Amino acid sequence: MDRLLLTLLVFAFFALCVYGMWRGWRRQARAQSVRIPPFSPVPDDPGEPELETRGIYVSTTMSGRWQERIVTRGAGLRGPAVVRLYADGIEIDRSGAPSFWIPRDSIVDVHTAKGMAGKVMGTDSLLVFTWRLGDVELDTGLRGDDLSVYPRWIEQVKGGAQV
């Protein structure tokens, strides 16, 4: 009987923790949806991509605050992605989550980083785009399958944007 009661208590505590995390995630998403405008949708015909990289979309955070993940409108969902550079912007095409568009004229910087929103590596293996959405500055990070293309991305993006 004691073992059954202890098992039920542990299960109830675990369920309460999961419920608290879910409520916190939802509250953060509601608060961010007021401060952060909707992400731009991908244009119907963006043209031919200049560069394309496959990898893992890590997250979008508030610029300079690499632990403050943006969770509103599905932006907090990590997963496989294809990032494409076009003449007018960057497409973040995520599997199982909404894709979004970073207009070329809103890009502030592009660089590599060691960590972002709970994903930390020992080397500069994240490609991070710093960009403006309305009056908010964001960092969007990707862990590419091929890290050797990062210098090309940085050169292409900085060469075509007002960075």
- Token couple for 125: 């293996």
Comparing C-alpha atoms, which of 41, 59, 145, 47 is closest to residue 100? 41
Q: What is the pLDDT along the chain (163 residues), one digit of tens a residue?
A: 788 889 999 999 999 999 998 888 788 777 777 778 888 888 888 889 999 999 998 888 888 887 778 877 777 788 899 999 998 899 999 888 888 899 998 999 998 888 777 667 767 788 999 999 888 899 998 998 888 899 999 998 887 544 4
Distance CA 43, CA 20 (A): 38
Kindly give, in sequence order, each residue whose CB lies less than 8 Å from that of residue 46, ignoring residues fewer than 6 positions away: 84, 86, 88, 89, 91, 101
Tell me the C-alpha to C-alpha distance, in Å, between residue 105 and each of 55, 85, 88.
24, 13, 8
- Token couple for 76: 């907090």
Q: Residue 141: exposed, middle, or buried by beta-carbon count in 10 A (0-12, 13-18, 19+)?
A: buried
DSSP state of 41: P
Q: What is the pTM of this model?
A: 0.78
- Token couple for 102: 């970073």
